[in-house]
A and B are shown apart, each in its own frame.
Chain A
């Protein structure tokens, strides 16, 4: 299969991927870079488990063809904690508020929420709800997830 060479910034590092042109960003992250934090729950952009941030926007990486990523900047859940291992306020808040149960939606939830907080550090509850409306969670009923994002926003002030 014809491969493409795609250069982009991944979690702050300049990287180059040589993968089949038909691959998505999600498949490239998981199989080429072995970053498995972003998950595939459905493959059709409905569940949000594959959410990553590209140039500041939360996107479904399962719907993003890899050639589209050329020259862009991508952040995944693996790029969130500081290099010394200290957690991002969102990660810390999800931990403290039980915003996590099975954990399969967690990476996507946190990345969607990060894109929001980066643009709007003082979101209303409605802003938070709109932001994660594209992320399914079957375990929590979303209650403790919203509380987690609210806590992270408060801590970030």
Chain B
């Protein structure tokens, strides 16, 4: 078949663009239903306390209050992001007996308006008995520390508050270090950042008489939310319908089940009326889940020529008061080390540790920025010690196409070497590197530096719901409707999926209607997290498209009395090659199929799985088992300016050379890269959620500095193409939405060092740390 691509690979405007530029796109916060009540949540003011009594009697008497719920109104089922025999769910949907962090829900109210709901909260009397609390993760691990939860039974060391542990390794670590010419040990630490999604967390729940719960919620995938709501509310999955509203950003922060979602649902069940709960920005800062700060200890052994021979890691995740994704990040962190470089002898230990801080969650890159910052910083230190340049040490150890990772995954296509070379060439890295440190003092106070960072990232993984399935239906007029469970959170999921449909069926984008993200009407989807949309859902769409195309061709071959090989699809017609007038329109073919194929209106179904032929997900405890059939690679170069008088550093240029397989939509890929560069520079220089004893000190955007346009840097993108799209054939395109917040963070740290000779071991890279490094601050 001819493989001229008209849609895949093209810069096609977003499918959801018109409703968004006209203000017509309805987000959850925009939804108003008749009779809708407003819900509000009463949250714990204590980081750790016993609940002695809750008295709601005064609040109940307030005019306009329609329902109040506490733990007594729940069925007592706990939930969690991870819910396995090793890691059973640990979160009550509303606190019972004990609160473990400031912001934990203890009650919720539904009232006729927000003012009444808020007044009702002030009338609920909760008697607490404060308990000893622990906030520092290393203190929490000490035997005898206040226990948030008892340590996990499978963890044998005498450590407190261990939520979970991942252990992995291969080769022989002792032999590896014995072979090394140079060994160094370093410790890195990252800090707390919020996701910064612009749309506040919000849910509208509406319980219908007859027992169906309808939920609109600002999320990253409806199927996960449905599962958690059904479990905690005691409803059959089929009686919970979670469906799409537009989503104003997620970045990992809208995956878990949140209090407002559970409470809106239960309040609606109690009142029989729709209930909306919208979080204030202050609530999001103080009580919702930010990213996961890690402590990373690395010991690395190398030969004199820079060849890595052994690496040992100890990673500690500051999980907060519940396990959440805490045991996922210590598992993923391992994966974010092994992808980029070959290391023959390896040992890894990761701990997730409870404290009385709010629980944490996935954040774009989910551990990758922290791990790459640590690995790439240390690699530069090693290179300098050995007198090798930063490019050479990376090229020497970089993974190549077809290598098998320790978990059994094949990296298949790998453009890492080319990424490093192209990023370096484009920025004249070799010429610039090391210049600033030999600069004369007469140059003024600004020093310019250049640095490189590398990342490798999985494209999807095996995690619930584990599958993406899609249906393509032809309509009587020859247009199609795509049913997909994928949720577009801004990354462009619907657009690229439609491009694949358009390509497989050769019909214009405007002839594709999308019904998306509805647990009742659309097939299951893995969700807009774990970076699998383009690869996993995309292949599912391609398979469905193939089925539709084959049905169209089969009917056409019969009617046109032509062989299949001679038929061509174009402009919603099938015609005989070389004879454009000898054709049938899709409209005619649908009609013919119904007549001659026993009523078949032409429907295609497709499904895909991140790793096919692999029934089980990998072990969180040991990392064993397959993870993904597709790995993305990238090299990023940062150029920074550092003022040696003030310690202020800023990113002035970012170059991303990325192996994304092939871009389905180059404009959207570039948008992902630009956004990640911006987020990484916020990570590097600006953003920090400040906490003291479990309380947030800067709970607003006035006090938490997120990048505005004045902080942005020039972002340049270089595609390294390692895969191609062929009509009707499976493909391995790669993720572009998460890995690239990582290499660039490391590149920035290395560029600061190049500029002023200050090695940074902790994020963010503040003027104080830089001045301290320069010996100008004690």
A interface with B by C-beta (< 8 Å):
30-31, 34-44, 46-47, 49, 76-78, 80-81, 87, 91-92, 94-98, 100-107, 110, 129, 132-146
Q: How far apart are B283's CB and chain A's nearest CB, in angstroms?
A: 11
In the complex the two chains form, is A103's CB within 8 Å of B22's CB?
no
Contact B22 A37 (CB under 8 A): yes
Q: Cβ of B20: which chain A residues have Cβ within 8 Å of it?
A: 100, 103, 106
Bound form: Cα–Cα A77–B472 in Å: 34
17 A-B residue pairings within 8 Å (CB atoms): A30-B30, A37-B24, A39-B29, A41-B198, A49-B198, A78-B23, A78-B24, A98-B13, A98-B667, A101-B490, A103-B19, A104-B197, A129-B710, A132-B709, A138-B679, A139-B490, A141-B707
Select one of A38, A44, A100, A136 contacting B17, CB under 8 A: A100
Nearest residue, chain B, Cβ from A148: B21
Does B1 belong to the interface (CB within 8 Å)? no
The majority secondary structure among interface residues of chain B is loop
Top 10 A-B residue pairs of the complex, sorted by shortest distance between their CB atoms? A37-B23, A102-B490, A104-B248, A141-B678, A103-B20, A77-B23, A141-B674, A101-B490, A36-B30, A46-B701
Assembly CA distance A95 to B678 (angstroms): 21
Q: In chain B between 492 and 512, which residues have their CB closer than 8 angstroms to a CB of chain A?
A: 492
A residues less than 8 Å from B491 (CB atoms): 101
Given contacts A44-B700, A95-B13, A95-B17, contact A138 B706 (CB under 8 A): yes
> Distance in Å from the Cβ of A144 to the closest Cβ of chain B?
6
Known A34-B32, A38-B23; contact A103-B248, beta-carbon cutoff 8 A: yes
| B196 contacts A by Cβ under 8 Å | yes
Find the residue from A87, A107, A143 having the highest chain B CB count within 10 A. A143
Q: Is B14 an interface residue (CB 8 A)?
A: yes
Residues in chain A near residue B700, CB distance under 8 A: 42, 44, 46
Question: When each residue 696-732 of chain B gets 1 if its CB lies under 8 Å from chain A and 0 otherwise, what string results?
Answer: 0000111000111110100100000000000000000
Q: How far is the CA of A77 from the CA of B197 in the complex (A)?
A: 21
Q: Which of chain B's residues have a CB closer than 8 A to the CB of A145?
A: 709
Known A-B contacts: A102-B489, A104-B199. Give 10 more (CB < 8 A): A36-B30, A39-B198, A42-B700, A42-B701, A98-B667, A101-B671, A103-B20, A132-B709, A136-B701, A140-B674
What is the CB-to-nearest-CB distance from B32 to chain A, in angstroms, rounded to a whole number?
7
CA distance A81 to B280 in the complex (A): 31
C-alpha gap A136/B707 in the complex (Å): 8
**Residues in B neighbouring A42, C-beta threshold 8 A:** 281, 700-701
Residue of A76, A103, A106, A140 contacting most chain B CB atoms (<10 Å): A103
Q: How far is the CA of A134 from the CA of B26 in the complex (A)?
A: 23
The complex places the Cα of A86 from the Cα of B18 at a distance, in Å, of 11
Q: What residues of chain B lie closer than 8 Å to A81, measured between beta carbons? A: 22
Instruction: Name the distance in Å between A142's Cβ and chain B's nearest Cβ.
Output: 4
* A137, B712: Cα distance in complex, Å: 11
Contacts of B490 in A (CB 8 A): 101-103, 139
| Contact A138 B25, beta carbon cutoff 8 Å | no
Q: Provided the pairs A42-B281, A87-B22 are in contact, do residues A138 and B198 lie with their beta carbons within 8 angstroms?
A: yes
Interface residues of B (CB under 8 A from A): 13-14, 16-27, 29-30, 32, 195-200, 246-249, 251, 280-281, 489-492, 667-668, 670-671, 674-679, 700-702, 706-710, 712, 715
Asked, given contacts A34-B32, A41-B198, whether A101 binds B492 with beta carbons under 8 Å apart, the answer is yes
Identify which of A41, A44, A76 contacts B702 (C-beta below 8 A): A44
Q: A36-B26, A101-B675, A133-B710 are in contact. Are A144 and B670 (CB under 8 A)?
A: yes
In angstroms, Cα B199 to Cα A92, docked, is 23
Chain A residues within an 8 Å CB radius of B706: 136, 138
What chain B residues lie within 8 Å of A92 (beta carbons)?
Answer: 21
Find A98's partner among B19, B248, B668, B678 (CB 8 Å cutoff).
B668
Residues of A within 8 A of B676 (CB): 141
User: For residue B671, which residues in chain A have a CB less than 8 angstroms away from its CB?
Assistant: 98, 101, 139-140, 143-144
Tally A-B pairs: CB < 8 A: 165
Instruction: Output the least CB separation between B680 and chain A (Å).
Output: 10
- Decide: B21 and A106 in contact? CB cutoff 8 A: yes
In the complex, the chain B residue whose C-beta lies closest to that of A129 is B709
Contact A139 B14, beta carbon cutoff 8 Å: no
- Residues of A contacting B489 in the complex (Cβ-Cβ under 8 angstroms): 102
Q: Kindly state the separation between the CA atoms of A76 and B24 in the bound complex, as whole angstroms.
A: 12
Which residues on the B side are within 8 Å of A49 (C-beta)? 198
- List chain A residues, Cβ under 8 A from B23: 35-38, 76-78, 106-107
CA distance A39 to B23 in the complex (A): 9
User: Complex: how many Å from CA A132 to CA B708?
Assistant: 8
Q: Which of A81, A100, A144 has the most CB of B within 10 A?
A: A100
CB closest residue in chain A, given B489: A102
Cα A77 to Cα B249 with chains together (Å): 20
Residues of B within 8 A of A137 (CB): 198
Contact A98–B14 (Cβ < 8 Å) = yes
Contact call B18/A95, Cβ cutoff below 8 A: yes
Distance in angstroms between the alpha carbons of A107 and B492 in the assembled complex: 18
Which residue of B has the minimal Cβ distance to A104? B248
Name the residue of chain B whose CB is nearest to the CB of A102.
B490
CA distance A136 to B200 in the complex (A): 14
Q: How far is the CA of A95 from the CA of B35 in the complex (A)?
A: 36
8 Å CB contact of B21 from A39, A110, A135: A110
Q: How far is the CA of A41 from the CA of B457 in the complex (A)?
A: 31
Instruction: List, in ascending order, chain B residues with CB within 8 A of A77's CB.
Output: 21-23
Known contacts A78-B22, A138-B679, A140-B674; decide if A39 and B199 are in contact (CB<8 Å).
yes
Instruction: Provide the bound-state CA to CA distance between A52 and B666, in Å.
Output: 32
Interface hub of B23, B248, B677, B708 (most chain A Cβ within 10 A): B23
> Measured between C-beta atoms, what is the minimum distance from B201 to chain A in Å?
12
Chain A neighbourhood of B195, CB < 8 A: 138
Chain A min CB distance to B260 (Å): 16
With A101-B491, A141-B715 as known contacts, state yes or no: A94 contacts B196, CB within 8 Å.
Answer: no
Q: Is the CB of A138 within 8 A of B251?
A: yes
Contact of B701 among A35, A47, A107 (CB under 8 A): A47
Measured between beta carbons, the chain A residues less than 8 angstroms from B27 are 36, 39, 104
Give the most central of B17, B196, B668, B710: most A CB within 10 Å: B17
Hey, which chain B residues are within 8 Å of A95, CB to CB?
A: 13-14, 17-18, 21
Q: Looking across the interface, which residue of chain A has its beta carbon closest to that of B709?
A: A142
Contact A44 B712 (CB under 8 A): no
Chain B residues closer than 8 Å to A142, beta-carbon distance = 674, 678, 709, 712
Q: B706: nearest residue on chain A (CB-CB)?
A: A136
A92, A134, A136 pick with most chain B CB within 10 angstroms: A136
Partner of B14, one of A31, A87, A100, A134: A100
Is B197 touching A138 in the complex (CB atoms < 8 A)? yes
Residues on the B chain within 8 Å of A107, using CB:
23
Nearest A residue (CB) for B701: A46
Most chain A CB neighbours (cut-off 10 Å) among B22, B26, B197, B281? B22
Q: Which of B26, B29, B708 neighbours the largest number of chain A CB atoms within 10 Å of its CB?
A: B708
Contacts of B712 in A (CB 8 A): 141-143
Which residues of the partner chain B approach A47 to less than 8 Å between Cβ atoms? 198, 701
> Provided the pairs A47-B701, A102-B249, A103-B248 are in contact, do residues A41 and B281 lie with their beta carbons within 8 angstroms?
yes
CB distance from B277 to the nearest CB of A (A): 15
